[in-house]
Structure 1
Amino acid sequence: MRESFDDENEDLGFSPVNKYEQMIADQSNAYFDVEEMEEIIEFYIEEEELDKALGACEFGLSQHPNEAGILILKSEIHLEKDQSKLALESLQKAIAHNPCNPETYSAIGGVYARLKSPREAIYYYEKSLDFYGKEEREEVLFDIAFEFQNLRQFGDALRYLKEILDNNPQNETAMFEIGLCYSEMDLADEAVTYFSKYLDEYPYSYIGWFNLANAYMKQGNYDMAIFAFDYSAIINEFFPAAYYGKANGFIQKGEYEKAIVVLNETFGLEQPHSFVYCTIGECYEKMNELDKALSFYEKAIEIDYGYPDAWIGLAVVYKMKKDYEKALKHINKATQYSANNIDTMSIKAEILEEMGSFEDALLIYKDILADYPEEEDTHYNLGSLLADMGHEEEAIDALEIGYEKTKSAEIFFKMTAIAFESNNTKLGMSLLAKGIDRHKQDIQKFYDFYPNFRDSKEIVALLTEELGENFDSKEN
């Protein structure tokens, strides 16, 4: 709109803004058409002179009563001034005088979106679609999809995003958001079908291949995911996300050396950042090349001193090296940048446990469970530590609570093993019978937790009867 004023007048210094300000200075009166008034108002909005913009709106409405464009701009100003009620009043007035203006309905939708009222926003956005032409619908369709995403109604969001893609198959934002919706809905199989079909028609869409790869990752089909990430990177060699995805595929397969090679390729695509260095450090950690792991974690910290994952990585490596003082120092540093993080707190507890500071470790496990009562690993660790401290009854009680919260076979069979280890055979046999009934497919966990089970004729008899195997003939 601002480009619409007469170029000749602008060259002579008579732009609508100059003309308006001269009128104000002279306390005179002048006529401005609608486009000129919109340009003046937009100028003041861009300059963040909201009071002047509001004054210009009032003047414009005095000459063009109920003009929708001016009322919409007025609503924008009220929104900037956190006056949402006044913004809605302006827009409702515009609708009353022009009920077929789609921009007014979409503007009301925008107000409700800003007020975090997604259902009301969707209502007005959808109302605007009744009046928009096909080519003008795309932005509003995005607005509706995003509001459905805010409501976590990803299936509804998908419908609108797919309409955008049907009309504009190369729309990259729609492609990304469709991939996100499928991921959030955990519909990996449907996503593979959808993106495979899309790529049949548009085989050079790097985002299509990227989304297909992510769907394969969700399926656990890492070979196909790596293949698809590779295609995405071949089509767009400057798309770092494809390289990160490919590296993650190798990591999931335990092929850490290949992951490191791919991650190193990203350094030529964009400025190195802490995430990449930290991921390489994790790969070296998994490969037990601890000094190299330390080196990359330290590089991550050089880039971002407050990056908690790097401090956690350093703590874990020093713990693996049994340098507990350094491990504790670095996990405390991680805590500064990631307070109440389960991973940070758990690792600190494990370090304290290995240092022999059992009571301190117990306090941390209990603190975690106070905030995250269904955290399975922490229930297991708490019970195991109590048992190691010789508090078998407390351990069993703690694991029983953990099982009630998680229904974890691992926790149940750990509790069963502790009962036998504490010579509470009656309780152990009762728990084992229940464990076989509830978690027969995970019975190996009991064998691992209590490898001396064959020394008990009662246990062997129960297992033989329930599982139909001759445990007397098995080697430990």
Structure 2
Amino acid sequence: MLFSANEDQNFALSKFESMLKTNNVFFFDSAEFEEIIHHYLDTGKVGLAKKAIKIGLEQHPSSVNLKLMEIELMVFENKLDEAEKLLDALYLLETSNAEIYIQKANILSKRDQHYKAIELLKMALEYSNDLADVNSLIGMEYLFIDDFKEAKKYFMKCIELDIDDYSSLYNVIYCFEFLEDIDGAISYLNEYIDKNPYSEVAWHQLGKQYYIKKMYVEALAAFDFAIIADDHFIGAYLEKGKVLEKLGEYKEAIHNYKTTLELDDPTSFAYLRMGKCYEKLGQKDLAVKFYYKTVHEDPLLDKGWTAITDFYVKEENFQKALYYINKAINIDTENVSYWKRSAEIHRALQLYEEADIAYQKTVELGNYELNTWLAWADILKLLGEYENTTHVLLQALEFYPDHAKIEYRLAGIYFILGEQNKGTFHLKNALRNNFKMHLQFQKLFPGVFMRTSVKNIISEFKKSST
């Protein structure tokens, strides 16, 4: 009875591990050692791989392949100088061994010498029997130096050698996207599909490109073909659902999201999208139900918490909105979108001191949007904290120089504080940048607006500008 390759490998592994346990010495040919080492590396058992290499070289000291595996492990562990010395010695013996060039290139790549690595990999192409693998390595080196055009070219070569090399296909599309050449990606994928019409991956990628171009009908057709090629392709159902949402086909979108739940474990993304669809359909109870499922499935998904919070804000149920945004903040205290929503909800509930704290945290976490600064300043004004209001507005002015909304507010606050010169300065700046907005200034600071001195400034500015 003949043994299969797997049975031979299992026998060799068992024999090797028995040798380690008993300290008996068994002989293995070099090919068996290579299989044993590959197995340990593939399973992450680096220590056992090292032992196998050591014993293998003791039994086969002239084996170039075992020496190359030793070098590969050294490179993996960043022992680059040691690996380089061994490689140089091997190179003198075998100048046409592609693996030597590949490992030399690997060392150069680790030293960020990517151009030199590419030169060596191109030399390896002359000697390698695995051109796809070497072309892929060259493509990756070009990615490291952000040369997406060259990277794309080499990944395309990989696909020419193996039409089912989906890893390279993904990299080709990544390069097209980074180059913002969506039309090029669509053209390439259509050519690829002509050669490989039942590739669910290619149809899926084509649909995504059409989606980016907002060609929703074409995207829908592409995802349908992906599903025909593989009716268990969850990604295609999810993407199809997104397209159907864009087309306003919410019931059909829900059907596709439900299909993903039947095919595999539920995902927070599917639950979230279903909740959004039910909300669009006006089925609020079901919308909330699926938002709950979203945060239960993945408590760290900020889109889930913001969806349920925003739902209650729209319903003007600010107490419930506050409850859920507080739960979200307890889970992730550094999420800026949570703090901004917290500030807005507290403001709606007229809890101004809490709103002040939340806006401060929002800015500390890097939200420098104009409306954040303005809302925070308006809260401080309501609290009567005029000095702090000017401090916030002056910070805002650094991000939005001469912006009329900031200038009008600074003018109003300075007039309230009795600093006439500063008030006049900022009021004139505001009028110069947007005269019509002085009507909003009247709403924000009615008392200040009624002052004779302020009316005179506005009147004089109007005359001078006509």
TM-score band, normalised by the shorter chain? Answer: 0.7 to 0.9
Determine the structure 2 residue equivalent to 1:246: 240
Task: Judge conservation of contact 2:75–2:106 (CA < 8 Å) in 1.
Answer: no
228, 231, 236: which is aligned to 2:225? 231
Q: Say yes or no: does 1:361 pair with 2:361.
A: no
Q: CA deviation at 1:336?
A: 3.9
Q: Say yes or no: does 1:292 pair with 2:291.
A: no
Distance 1:68 1:56 in 2: 14
Q: CA deviation at 1:59?
A: 0.9
More displaced 10-residue stretch of structure 1: 305-314 or 37-46: 37-46
Distance 1:24 1:54 in 2: 16
- What is the letter of the counterpart of residue 240 of structure 2? K
Distance 1:73 1:40 in 2: 11
Query: Where in structure 2 are the equivalents of 1:29-68 lying within 5 Å?
Result: 34-35=30-31, 37-39=33-35, 42=38, 48-60=47-59, 62=61, 64=62, 67-68=63-64
Determine the structure 2 residue equivalent to 1:473: none
Determine the structure 2 residue equivalent to 1:99: 95
Q: Say yes or no: does 1:71 pair with 2:67.
A: yes
340, 358, 366: which is aligned to 1:346? 340
TM-score w.r.t. structure 1 length?
0.72
SS of match in other structure, 2:291: helix
- What is the letter of the counterpart of residue 146 of structure 1? M
TM-score w.r.t. structure 2 length?
0.73
Distance 1:326 1:374 in 2: 27
- What is the letter of the counterpart of residue 259 of structure 1? A
- What is the letter of the counterpart of residue 275 of structure 1? F
Percent sequence identity over aligned pairs: 22
- What is the letter of the counterpart of residue 98 of structure 1? E
SS of match in other structure, 1:49: helix
SS of match in other structure, 2:334: coil
Task: Judge conservation of contact 1:274–1:303 (CA < 8 Å) in 2.
Answer: yes
More displaced 10-residue stretch of structure 1: 272-281 or 296-305: 296-305
Task: Judge conservation of contact 1:399–1:415 (CA < 8 Å) in 2.
Answer: yes
Q: CA deviation at 1:291?
A: 2.7
Distance 1:221 1:429 in 2: 49
More displaced 10-residue stretch of structure 1: 380-389 or 263-272: 380-389
311, 315, 333: which is aligned to 2:309? 315
Distance 1:402 1:146 in 2: 43
Task: Judge conservation of contact 2:84–2:107 (CA < 8 Å) in 1.
Answer: yes
Determine the structure 2 residue equivalent to 1:474: none
Task: Judge conservation of contact 2:404–2:429 (CA < 8 Å) in 1.
Answer: no
Alpha-carbon spacing, 1:412–1:21, altered in 2? closer, same or farther (3 Å)? closer
Cα RMSD between the aligned structures? 4.8
Task: Judge conservation of contact 2:346–2:352 (CA < 8 Å) in 1.
Answer: yes
322, 332, 336: which is aligned to 1:328? 322
More displaced 10-residue stretch of structure 1: 373-382 or 243-252: 373-382
125, 142, 148: which is aligned to 1:129? 125
Alpha-carbon spacing, 1:52–1:198, altered in 2? closer, same or farther (3 Å)? closer
- What is the letter of the counterpart of residue 238 of structure 1? H
Task: Judge conservation of contact 1:387–1:418 (CA < 8 Å) in 2.
Answer: no
Alpha-carbon spacing, 1:261–1:33, altered in 2? closer, same or farther (3 Å)? closer
- What is the letter of the counterpart of residue 100 of structure 1? S
Runs (5+) with no aligned partner, structure 1: 437-442, 467-476
Determine the structure 1 residue equivalent to 2:265: 271
Determine the structure 1 residue equivalent to 2:420: none
162, 174, 182: which is aligned to 1:188? 182
Determine the structure 2 residue equivalent to 1:215: 209
Q: CA deviation at 1:277?
A: 0.6
Distance 2:428 2:211 in 1: 42
Alpha-carbon spacing, 1:18–1:274, altered in 2? closer, same or farther (3 Å)? closer
Q: Say yes or no: does 1:155 pair with 2:149.
A: yes
Task: Judge conservation of contact 2:408–2:430 (CA < 8 Å) in 1.
Answer: no
Runs (5+) with no aligned partner, structure 2: 416-422, 444-454
CA deviation string 1:154-184 (max 9, x = no partner): 3332222222223333432222222223233
Matched residue pairs, number?
440
Distance 1:6 1:321 in 2: 65
Task: Judge conservation of contact 2:13–2:36 (CA < 8 Å) in 1.
Answer: no
Distance 1:219 1:5 in 2: 48
Q: CA deviation at 1:69?
A: 0.6
Task: Judge conservation of contact 1:247–1:263 (CA < 8 Å) in 2.
Answer: yes
- What is the letter of the counterpart of residue 234 of structure 1? I
- What is the letter of the counterpart of residue 346 of structure 1? K
- What is the letter of the counterpart of residue 127 of structure 2? F
Alpha-carbon spacing, 1:38–1:152, altered in 2? closer, same or farther (3 Å)? same
Q: CA deviation at 1:90?
A: 3.1
Determine the structure 2 residue equivalent to 1:470: none
Task: Judge conservation of contact 2:37–2:52 (CA < 8 Å) in 1.
Answer: yes
Alpha-carbon spacing, 1:369–1:37, altered in 2? closer, same or farther (3 Å)? same
